[in-house]
Amino acid sequence: MNHFSYRGGILHAEDVPLDELARAAGTPLYVYSTATLSRHYQVFAGAVPAGSLVAYAAKANDNLAVLKTLAKLGAGADVVSGGELAKALAAGIPASKIVFSGVGKAAEEMRAALEAGIYQFNVESEPELAALDEVARSLNKQAPITLRINPDVDAKTHAKINTGMAETKFGIPFDRARQAYADAARMKNIQIVGVDVHIGSQITDLAPFEAAFQRVGGLIQLLRSDGHAIRRLDLGGGLGVPYENSNTPPPDPAEYGAMVTRVTKDFGCTLSFEPGRLIAANAGILLSRVLYVKHGDAKQFLIIDAGMNDLIRPAMYEAWHEIVPVVEPRPGSARVAYDVVGPVCETADLFASGRNLPELKSGDLVAILSAGAYGAVMASAYNARPPAAEVLVAGGDWSVVRSRLTHEQLIAQDSLPHWLAD
């Protein structure tokens, strides 16, 4: 469920008409719904076993206002960089609820996390483990760790977001797990607290999750027999969201939570989860204005002012996003098959091919739905295009939570060497 709906013939974000937002804040524009963010977090947190840590994956949408909204609801954070750690702390998420994941943690990032006193590090390789031990020793601290173990389970998702197989940059192969834990136990500044598993993103079937969790359950028993105190189990994120209407929608959080409860009830572990897309995706839209309608020999092109620099998912993942007009079409109105494209100088700047939409004209507004996750966070200034601004709506109120850069601000990010200065 989301809080974007037609009222009086105009698409609204909660109680705010999107055409008014476009006039006031310009386009392209990301619009986030507080009510949707809150509902999605609360539904997930209520579905998993009581006492679990729900650490929102900041990489999905790290806008400070989004993080603060979730912090006020009690969310933790899963971070993958020093920058995300700093943003989570600035948003008021307690360090004791922050999990640090990612394959390339630098020494200075480890140091900042140790000094902050985070909940745990999800360690992804043996070299990282050794580096973390060294940094912790320099601070005379103990680093609480889980090792991310790949259960060699195919998540049946897009190849670029499938992370649970044996040969991937993420995590430690299953057959090396016991040796890796033995190595960790010999490190004086490493504190083993549990096991971590994360098999991918946008997973729409519970079977891969269940297979992975059962396999890790068996590993926990082996590790305890080896003398390790395994008391936490981090089950990652990855539960898919409905990007389009389908006869087979992804499982809802209640189904996922019931499966987790059944599978892990005898594990004797405190659980943690790292949902990101599930919370943020359908809480945001990308609002855009039609620039031109171009008639080709065999196609019609709807050229909008949002580009792949604003939302790269369709170009990068062949991702499907529903696109709707802001003005509600009349029943029975004419429809046209459009290629919906942006202004970026790339053939890949394509949001939809042959999409059947109501007939549109220059100046009309459209909303690209389910854009709240992996939208603004992956944006760039390619073609020297300032990325879309961002707005957060709460009921009938709204605020710009990230301003659009001016051309002058873009230019000011560069500096000339002395030999080119006038």
Q: 127-155: per-residue pLDDT in tens?
A: 999 999 999 999 999 999 999 999 877 64
Compute how many other C-beta atoms are within 10 angstroms of the C-beta atom of residue 404: 16
- Amino acid 164: pLDDT: 39
- Amino acid 262: pLDDT: 97
Same domain as 293, residue 238: no
Helix (H, G, I), strand (E, B) or coil at 258: helix
Token pair of 68, please? 């603060």
- Give the CA angle between residues 231, 51, 151 to the nearest 5°: 50
Cα–Cα distance between 255 and 271 in angstroms, integer? 17
78 within domain boundaries: no
Would you say the pTM of this structure is higher than 0.85?
yes
In CATH, what number is assigned to the domain containing residue 290?
2.40.37.10
Domain stop point among 219, 242, 273: 273
Same domain as 380, residue 290: yes
37 within domain boundaries: no
In CATH, what number is assigned to the domain containing residue 123?
3.20.20.10
Helix (H, G, I), strand (E, B) or coil at 116: helix
Q: What is the DSSP letter of 165?
A: S
Same domain as 252, residue 154: yes
Same domain as 286, residue 256: no
**What is the gyration radius of the CA atoms in the chain, in angstroms?**
23
Cα–Cα distance between 173 and 101 in angstroms, integer? 16
Select from 177, 113, 182, 181 the least CA-distant residue to 143: 113
115 within domain boundaries: yes
Cα–Cα distance between 381 and 347 in angstroms, integer? 17
Cα–Cα distance between 87 and 65 in angstroms, integer? 10
Same domain as 288, residue 251: no
Helix (H, G, I), strand (E, B) or coil at 372: coil
Same domain as 227, residue 127: yes
Give the side-chain half-sphere CA count within 13 A for 80.
Answer: 15
Domain stop point among 225, 254, 273: 273
Torsion angle defined by CA atoms of residues 351, 317, 124 and 274, in that order, rounded to the nearest 10 degrees: 50
Report the helix count and the strand count for the chain, using DSSP H and E: 12, 21
Same domain as 166, residue 262: yes
Q: Tell me which residues of the chain have a pLDDT lower than 50.
A: 155, 157-166
What are the residues whose beta carbons fall under 8 Å from the beta carbon of 75, sequence distance 6 or more?
41, 45, 54, 55, 56, 93, 97
77 within domain boundaries: no
Token pair of 253, please? 């959080």
Residues forming the active site: 345
Same domain as 215, residue 112: yes
Same domain as 327, residue 267: no
Domain stop point among 217, 252, 273: 273
Maximum separation of any 2 CA atoms in the chain, in Å: 72
Which residue range(s) make up the domain with 14? 4-31+281-412
348 within domain boundaries: yes
Q: 317-369: per-residue pLDDT in tens?
A: 999 999 999 999 999 899 999 999 999 999 999 999 999 999 999 999 999 99
- Judging by beta carbons within 10 Å of its beta carbon (0-12, 13-18, 19+), is residue 270 exposed, middle or buried? middle
Select from 54, 32, 51 the least CA-distant residue to 43: 54
353 within domain boundaries: yes
What are the residues whose beta carbons fall under 8 Å from the beta carbon of 114, sequence distance 6 or more?
135, 136, 139, 141, 143
For the chain, the domain total comes to 2
Residue type, 292: Y
Same domain as 330, residue 287: yes
Q: Which residues of 316-355 are buried (b: 16+ CB within 10 A; e: fewer)?
A: eeebebbbbbbbbbeeeeeeeebbbbbbbeeeebbbbeeb
- Beta pairing partners, 77: 56, 98
Same domain as 307, residue 261: no
Same domain as 209, residue 116: yes
200 within domain boundaries: yes
Long-range contacts of 346-350 (CB under 8 A, 24+ apart): 346/308, 346/315, 348/308, 348/315, 349/307, 349/308, 349/315, 350/308, 350/314, 350/315
228 within domain boundaries: yes
Cα–Cα distance between 202 and 163 in angstroms, integer? 11
